[in-house]
Amino acid sequence: MISFDAEHGFLKEDILSYQSDVTRIHHMIHEKTGAGNDFLGWVDLPRDYNKEEFDRIQQLAAKLKGKYDTLIVCGIGGSYLGAAAAIDMIRGLYPEEGPEVLFTGNTFSSTYMSQILKHIENKSVVLDVVSKSGTTTETALAFRMLREFMEKKYGKEECKWRIVVTTDRAKGTLKALADQEGYEEFVVPDDIGGRYSVLSAVGLVPMALAGIDINKVMEGFAAAYKDLDTDDLKKNPAYRYGVTRRILQNQGYNVEMFVTYEPQMRLVGEWWKQLFGESEGKDGKGILPDSVTFSTDLHSMGQFIQQGNKLLFETGIKVNHPTENLTIPDDPANFDQMNYLSGKDLDWVNKMAQEGTLQAHVEDGHVPNLMITLDDMKEYTFGYMCYFFFLACAMTCYMLDINPFNQPGVEIYKRNMFHLLGKPGYEK
Ligand code: PA5
């Protein structure tokens, strides 16, 4: 379903020479014995997910279908990036069906918030608030403003179906508020951290409300769980990818560029950056994850990649089948001199650009290039891809002796900010 190719990786070590490390770590992941092991709930999630809650998500989406034209997702980090990535990848950027989807609760920008509030003035809105802790300031502030807007516009009674909350099963102010107001509630599992939570209610609720078939997403997730449940490096492309990252960093490459040729996968790049960056970037270690969308960014970052500092390697994403295709029309006048492409598929041109770029970056630029190939950008593939990257990320972090599931560094800005904001308890 997903293939991984390191043919152009310039690897100086044999991936298979890491087999014994991989076997050891594979058991650590599956037997949940490594650092951060209380956050390994995602490992068996494709099998053990809460079926009752899953049905409730589908019922909610069916019940609300057609009753709103804008879905607002309010959350930050792992509480929105997965859903945002899925919705763009699966529906495309300008879908013909389904509600418009907006994301809030991920910024303090007053301009952004104010424009969102004006934009939704005459829309029929459903709001999905997602916060595991229920106390994240960006999300809580945005929710406070949106709730005020919605209560004024619809009244408290109607807000009971227009506001959906996903949070901890028992604790937090968001949980208490949801109980009090009677909002529909879903649970962020205790043993799954934000950036591994996209296929729990965290991402499934917004996906379903955006009109996505979450059954197919879970089918792909389950297929990857089965296919990738092997420590054999020859059979496990996720582990080969994880090992390859380590080999390349040992060779001095400290930046990884995620390269997509599909604009609707730009946010998959953002989600991937959070997954790898927040999991691996600690103890002074890790590869800096970055992302570009080609061919757009060949006209900006392409120059650096081709001829700049040799600090990076690329991980290209190839999509075999585009969601839609177009034939390039013929123009008898041929003013633009493009008739040599008349009758060709636009996707074929995209693929030739990818092939030509790979050649340029590898042969002329001497930039190591890895390739991950997806069949398409549909639900099943998204679910499969999530498990692939989760597993690769856990493997690559454990190989570096890093706990992939905490993010202690994120707290430092919060402490300073709370002090400056005068939050009680942060006076010093
Ligand atoms: O990956 C993570 O754990 C973080 O990015 C969190 O998802 C993010 O900080 C949001 O936290 P919460 O869901 O508690 O509001």
Ligand 1 site, residue 206, Cβ cutoff 6 A:
no
Annotated catalytic residue, options 299, 411, 427, 428: 299
Q: Is pLDDT at 151 greater than 90 in this prediction? A: yes
Dist. CA 319–CA 321, nearest whole Å: 6
Which of 130, 132, 413 is the best mutation target for the ligand 1 pocket, counting ligand atoms within 8 Å of the beta carbon and taking the most?
132
The values of phi and psi at residue 367, to 5°, are -100, 120
CA separation (Å) from 90 to 378, 411, 418?
5, 33, 38
* pTM (global) more than 0.85: yes
**Encoding tokens for residue 261?**
């040729």
Which ligand 1 atom is the nearest neighbour of the CA of 136? 15
Provide the pLDDT for residue 328.
98
Task: Provide mean pLDDT across the span 246-272.
Answer: 98
Distance 303 CA to ligand 1 centre (A): 35
Q: Is pLDDT at 143 greater than 80 in this prediction? A: yes
Annotated catalytic residue, options 63, 310, 344, 414: 414
Task: Provide mean pLDDT across the span 41-64.
Answer: 98
> Is 121 noted as a catalytic residue in this protein?
no
Provide the pLDDT for residue 315.
98
Q: Is pLDDT at 243 greater than 80 in this prediction? A: yes
pLDDT in tens, 71-89: 999 999 999 999 999 999 9
Distance 79 CA to ligand 1 centre (A): 6
Strand order in 288-293's β-sheet?
A: 2-8, 369-374, 312-319, 255-260, 288-293
Averaged pLDDT score across all residues of the chain: 97
Dist. CA 149–CA 147, nearest whole Å: 5
Ligand 1 site, residue 78, Cβ cutoff 6 A:
yes
Provide the pLDDT for residue 1.
85
Q: Is pLDDT at 140 greater than 90 in this prediction? A: yes
Q: Is pLDDT at 317 greater than 80 in this prediction? A: yes
For the chain, what percent of residues have pLDDT higher than 90?
Answer: 98
Provide the pLDDT for residue 282.
96
Q: Is pLDDT at 428 greater than 80 in this prediction? A: no
pLDDT in tens, 195-214: 999 999 999 999 999 999 99
Q: Using the Cα atoms of residue 4, residue 7, residue 13 and residue 14 in order, give the sign of their dihedral.
A: positive
> Is 414 noted as a catalytic residue in this protein?
yes
Ligand 1 site, residue 193, Cβ cutoff 6 A:
yes
Task: Provide mean pLDDT across the span 178-185.
Answer: 96
SS3 347: helix
Dist. CA 40–CA 406, nearest whole Å: 11
In this prediction, residue 222 has a pLDDT band, given cuts at 50, 70 and 90, of very high
Q: Is pLDDT at 112 greater than 90 in this prediction? A: yes
In this prediction, residue 52 has a pLDDT band, given cuts at 50, 70 and 90, of very high
137 burial level (CB within 10 Å; 0-12, 13-18, 19+): middle
Provide the pLDDT for residue 18.
98
* Residue in the block written with tokens 């028992």: 170
Q: Is pLDDT at 234 greater than 90 in this prediction? A: yes
